[in-house]
Chain A
């Protein structure tokens, strides 16, 4: 189960305090947890509060932060590049995540149950998701989709003269989306594991009742898989909002052409470490957190209409 599934079931069983009745080990527990607690305070909670404070300041690392009230927020509202970066990020998230998951699901369904060569295909499909986050692959992508690259070489067989995908504002983001879909292997492995957990007897019973393949998919496989699909969807969306490396490398660090690959995180990085506008960057970071939280909450609300829980 994913971390998200764990959280959900914790929230549901909160009152069921049927723990074992042995004496608690408070002291031992806090000793074992000491590194984690220290890390939580020093590297997570402390910095979170600090960046919340910095969001309301003007801070450039060189001089102490100066309280500026709602200036950063007002500036964000009027920052056209910021809203453009948000639009780019939204497009990326909303297109690439569902496509990647749909692809992963379809391939997992094809590979499921008694497929010969399953482990071979699984390895091949999984490999790109291990490499996909690296700089080397982003560099490769620049060339595959370059003017003289592999894609245009392929298109030229059909007499099509392809554009320079990476350097065209209409297509650059598309190449990064394709890169994300290329890494469908890891959700595929999760779906394969989920499919294996569906008891055979469900299918056998449906068989006896005369359910056909399609009926079995929509009445058994899909409903039982919906929690896994849902948790994957939510988590992938959370992580897709934070993508950075691929856009950075593919655009040569510029977010171009014409800001068409300027992800929110890339713009944030530039504000913080190129402009040294740390206050503004902190405000942007909190804005990102709120957006992600909002998206996640919306997803949970939507899930009531399509996710089927066995419990």
Chain B
């Protein structure tokens, strides 16, 4: 609804009270109200964003100035912290970025393939036990992973997969991120049925309907899945904390933890600088994928 309509709507009940002038009065009141609203919202935006701005500015300040001068207005900027921080965790930070990138790509690929396959079956096929399986699938979204934690660790240990990326990637190829199955099911259900019926009449089998019709039509859902998977994998801390304990394998989340552990050295500047580096990919994903992210949460009510 447009703001003009909203104004008109709210003006109606006031109208009978004092005939000609109130409309203009109301308009003035609406304008004041809108200024107040925007002022509050802008202040709130500032409070929300300020810590992030402070993080970025602090990462560019000389180390001894970060806590002596908390202001974000400074001319004394330097890239020293980035240079120091890059090598502060025993290996160049590029190694950790690379590890995070491999983990993320593996997880994205796994989720895209396995979740879309399962989603097609749930959304388009009739089979025995469908409702039961579907209910189980939805249930696993809410299952606290702690009840599978220890046995999974034992399985991966027996397979000799500790200190490899496999425990964090292989499950994704088996659609263990059921949330994305659900997201895709919701999307496929929203596609017009006639397309699928027409394809069936033309004699296309399910593999073809899936690959040549469903997948191209569901690219928005695939994009949402890819972006969310990226953000969650990039930020994941618990999984790598358990499975990756040697430095060569650290993703950025664990590498950053090194700064907290070794805070006796108190190189805050380097810590801030590498924190910023670790957030840049997330920020880019936000900029590129905002539309998909918003739509994704709106249609599934996140999880």
| A-to-B contact residues, CB < 8 Å | 1-7, 10, 14, 19-20, 22-26, 28-30, 32-40, 42-44, 46-48, 50-52, 54, 61, 107, 110-111, 113-117, 121-128, 130-131, 133-137, 139-144, 146, 148-150, 153, 182, 186-187, 189-190, 192-193, 200, 203-204, 207, 210, 212-213, 228, 231-232, 235, 238-239, 241-242, 244-245, 248-249, 252-253, 265, 268-269, 272-273, 278, 281-282, 284-286, 288-289, 292, 296
Contacts and interface: CB of A to CB of B under 8 A. Distances in A.
Interface in B269-303: 271-272, 275-276, 278-279, 282-283, 285-286, 290, 293-294, 297-303
Contacts of B178: 36
A310 B154 CA distance: 47
Interface string B164-189: 00000001011110110110001000
Interface string B1-15: 111011001101100
A201 to B, nearest CB: 11
Nearest to A154: B70
Interface residues of B, number: 114
B300 A2 contact: yes
B257 A249 contact: yes
B174 A189 contact: no
B242 A51 contact: no
A14 B135 CA distance: 11
Contacts of A265: 146
Contacts of A268: 146
Q: Which one of B12, B138, B143, B144 has the highest number of Cβ atoms from chain A below 10 Å of its Cβ?
A: B144
Contacts of B6: 113-114
Interface stretch (B18-26, B41-49, B76-84): B41-49
Contacts of B182: 3, 6
Which 8 residue pairs across A and B have the least CB separation, nearest first?
Answer: A39-B174, A2-B301, A193-B298, A29-B127, A47-B151, A114-B3, A47-B148, A136-B275
Given A2-B301, A24-B127, A36 B149 contact: no
Contact of A36 (B128, B137, B232, B259): B137
A234 B252 CA distance: 32
Interface string B202-218: 00011000100000000
B121 A42 contact: no
B237 A244 contact: yes
29 contacts: A2-B300, A3-B138, A3-B182, A3-B301, A29-B125, A32-B210, A35-B175, A36-B181, A51-B150, A124-B48, A125-B44, A127-B52, A128-B52, A130-B286, A131-B282, A135-B253, A135-B257, A135-B278, A136-B55, A136-B276, A136-B279, A140-B51, A189-B294, A207-B12, A210-B13, A212-B13, A239-B303, A242-B145, A288-B144
